[in-house]
């Protein structure tokens, strides 16, 4: 008995030790090779890379100072406020060294060693090279310092217990710089590096499990709390089916022959993608198009229409004829790039129809970009249509011109009527 207890104790200690090791391990095999962290050339390169990483997107509040933090990142576990990454010594990262910055980016730990919540996409940023990390560090140290005290996370118990991240990290995180695949072209590798690393595309485009860890790579899913469906980049109507030049136009200008950027993606184009060089956008597009197709298609929330929906769809067709046909055409082909096609449009056909509902009810504009400074917009039809009419027209659109997707029910419209601004 005594020996059994001893053995049990040994196993328990070893198990705890393993979790601690897995959860706390750091990869310190990448010392800095940057000679001068303040050279103008390095700062310029860092500015570009910071765009690619869209640091400004989370680290700037609406109307706030750039990089001073304060924007709430809403998660199913509570709100986490992005931190001040300006070079203010007291409230920002002015006192941080390039090594401290690397530790956060690559190992997911703050300067004092505390574990960072993965709302900061360090599982992606871990793939960034040390040289690029140093460049971003140099750039951030060059932006105007803003004194703005960080706001503590507002998380529910037990998620407010930071030490529990040890377990999360043990299960889901391993610090690792992107390893180029020799069988692939340099361009493909550049695309993979940007998509997996700084671009952190999977932060939205990969569904998460109940612990907030990412599942099947880039196959799409609801963005929790934000309540937009990040489309599958690998599934039907996904990136692999788009012509290369349309993917590049979409990322670079916000509009394309296939569809326009809306919701959170409009913000990503505005703050990040439109600023990337054409060769980088090309590389991203090449990589995305090479991804293997989805093995499983996410199940739809509602059934596909049957004969019992015939009158409902006919009603939708009448609403379409009255309100939609001028811009999107009787054939659903629109007048792209300014009025996107609805036939085969992946944002229209998402399995959980939050995007088409919100686009119909709230409307919206793609971003102003250098390539498309004065975008056309979608009027908000929320005031003009009843829940029933909106559900009917969306069900019609999702099943006309070769489209095939679930019917939309009026309670789904009603739930999404309030405008959510984060």
Binding site for other proteins (CB under 8 A): 61-64, 245-246, 248-249, 252-255, 266-267, 270, 278, 281, 337, 362-368, 370-384, 418-421
**Per-residue DSSP letter, 308:** G
Nearer to other proteins, 52 or 136 (CB): 52
Segment (H or E) for 79: strand 78-81
Output the DSSP codes for 334-392: -BTTTB---TT-TTTS-SSTHHHHHHHHH-B-PPP-SSSSS---BPP-TTTS-HHHHHH
**Per-residue DSSP letter, 214:** B
Nearer to other proteins, 340 or 351 (CB): 340
Measured torsion, CA atoms of residues 356, 320, 418, 207, in degrees rounded to the nearest 10: -10
In the complex, the smallest distance separating the C-beta of residue 87 from other proteins, rounded to whole angstroms, is 24
In the complex, the smallest distance separating the C-beta of residue 367 from other proteins, rounded to whole angstroms, is 4
Segment (H or E) for 73: strand 72-75
Nearer to other proteins, 201 or 285 (CB): 285
In the complex, the smallest distance separating the C-beta of residue 408 from other proteins, rounded to whole angstroms, is 20
Q: Is 211 left (phi over 0), alpha (psi -120 to 50) or beta?
A: alpha
Give the sign of the dihedral formed by CA 229, CA 412, CA 299, CA 343. negative
Nearer to other proteins, 208 or 358 (CB): 358
Nearer to other proteins, 175 or 252 (CB): 252
In the complex, the smallest distance separating the C-beta of residue 88 from other proteins, rounded to whole angstroms, is 21
Contact 249, 342 (CB under 8 A): no
Nearer to other proteins, 28 or 422 (CB): 422
257 SS3 class: coil
Contact 121, 128 (CB under 8 A): no
Nearer to other proteins, 103 or 190 (CB): 190
In the complex, the smallest distance separating the C-beta of residue 230 from other proteins, rounded to whole angstroms, is 17
Strand 78-81 to 221-223 pairing: unpaired
In the complex, the smallest distance separating the C-beta of residue 362 from other proteins, rounded to whole angstroms, is 6
In the complex, the smallest distance separating the C-beta of residue 76 from other proteins, rounded to whole angstroms, is 22
**CA 61/CA 65 separation, integer angstroms:** 7
């Amino acid at each position: 008995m005594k020996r059994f207890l001893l053995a049990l104790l040994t196993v328990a200690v070893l198990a705890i030790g393993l979790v601690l090791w897995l959860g706390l391990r750091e990869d310190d095999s990448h010392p800095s090779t940057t000679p001068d962290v303040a050279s103008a050339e390095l700062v310029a390169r860092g500015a570009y890379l910071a765009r690619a990483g869209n640091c400004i997107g989370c680290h700037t509040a609406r109307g706030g100072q750039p990089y001073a933090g304060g924007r709430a990142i809403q998660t199913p576990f509570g709100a986490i406020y992005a931190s001040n990454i300006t070079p203010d010594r007291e409230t920002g990262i002015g006192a941080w060294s390039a090594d401290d910055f690397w530790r956060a980016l690559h190992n997911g730990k703050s300067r004092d060693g505390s574990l960072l919540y993965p709302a900061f996409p360090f599982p992606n940023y871990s793939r960034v090279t040390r040289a690029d990390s140093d460049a971003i560090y140099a750039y951030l140290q060059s932006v105007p310092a803003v004194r703005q005290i960080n706001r503590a996370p507002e998380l529910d118990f037990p998620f407010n217990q930071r030490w529990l991240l040890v377990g999360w990290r043990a299960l889901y995180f391993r610090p690792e710089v992107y390893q180029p695949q020799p069988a692939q072209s340099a361009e493909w590798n550049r695309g993979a590096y940007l998509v997996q690393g700084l671009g952190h595309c999977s932060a939205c485009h990969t569904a998460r499990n109940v612990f907030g860890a990412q599942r099947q790579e880039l196959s799409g899913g609801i963005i929790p709390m934000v309540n937009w469906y990040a489309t599958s980049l690998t599934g039907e109507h996904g990136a692999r089916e788009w012509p290369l030049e349309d993917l590049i136009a979409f990322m670079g200008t916000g509009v394309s022959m296939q569809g326009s950027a809306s919701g959170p993606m409009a913000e990503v184009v505005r703050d990040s993608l439109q600023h990337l060089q054409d060769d980088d956008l090309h590389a991203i597009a090449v990589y995305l198009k090479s991804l293997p197709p989805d093995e499983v298609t996410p199940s739809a929330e509602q059934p596909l229409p049957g004969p019992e929906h015939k009158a409902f769809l006919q009603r939708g067709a009448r609403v379409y004829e009255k309100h939609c046909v001028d811009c999107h055409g009787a054939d659903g082909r629109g007048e792209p790039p300014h009025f996107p096609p609805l036939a085969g449009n992946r944002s229209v056909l998402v399995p959980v129809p939050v995007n088409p509902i919100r686009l119909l009810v709230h409307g919206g504009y793609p971003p102003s970009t250098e390539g498309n400074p004065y975008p056309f917009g979608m009027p908000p039809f929320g005031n003009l249509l009843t829940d029933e009419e909106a559900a009917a027209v969306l069900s019609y659109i999702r099943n006309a011109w070769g489209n095939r997707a679930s019917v939309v029910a009026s309670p789904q419209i009603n739930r999404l009527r309030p405008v959510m601004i984060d």
